[in-house]
Amino acid sequence: MSSAEEGRDRREEAVGLATVTATGEGGEEERRERGMVAGLVDRAKGFVAEKIAQIPKPDATLDRVSFKGVTRECITLHSHIDVNNPYTHRIPICELTYTFKSDGKVIASGTMPDPGWIAASSTTKLELPVKVPYDFIMSLIKDLSGDWDIDYILEVGITIDLPVVGSFTIPLTTEGEMKLPTFRDLIF
């Protein structure tokens, strides 16, 4: 066969293959190819999910709750939160949410929107003020009766926004016993 005839045969095969594909014939081969592509996409998704799971994420610790001050409206408590950032760039904190409970009752809850940033490659200290109205303190008098302290649980959620991963919340909980100030402690 001459080279001209071979070239013509190849062109005819290519045209025939294009006709088969355009008319929908050869569907089994297309299904096999789609199955292979779907398998590759699934493996790629699994690989990416595994790599994202191995990325270090910021973590946090919550300090105990302590008495901070008294106003006409409420008692202010505070707790320190240490947030560790493993990345070389700072991370925005979207919000802090908290719930302060005692004796199974929610005493105070709230949200602190946009409390700032977590510094790059270091630990950032955040102060969480919790304002407890006096009427809740009066309802807890039975717990205060002998030892003048409150058993508490403080639940905090730190919502941060990470590139690639998206926003997620770091849940924190601390519980303990807080000694309330006496009148003698409030006198300067």
φ/ψ (deg, to 5) at 131 = -100, 120
Residue 161, pLDDT score = 83
What percentage of the chain carries pLDDT values higher than 70? 72
Answer whether 168's CB lies under 8 Å from 162's CB.
yes
For 77-111, letters b (16+ CB in 10 Å) and e give: bebebebbbeeeeebebeebbbbbbbeeeebbeee
pLDDT in tens, 145-188: 566 677 888 899 999 887 777 788 889 888 888 776 665 655 55
Instruction: Count the neighbouring beta carbons within 10 Å of the beta carbon of residue 64.
Output: 13
For the chain, what is the mean pLDDT? 76
pLDDT in tens, 113-126: 888 888 888 888 98
**What mean pLDDT comes out for the span 127-134?**
84
Residue 143, pLDDT score = 56
Residue 98, pLDDT score = 92
Cα–Cα distance between 6 and 8 in angstroms, integer?
Answer: 5
Residues near 82 by beta carbon (within 8 Å), at least 6 away in sequence: 60, 61, 63, 123, 124, 125, 126
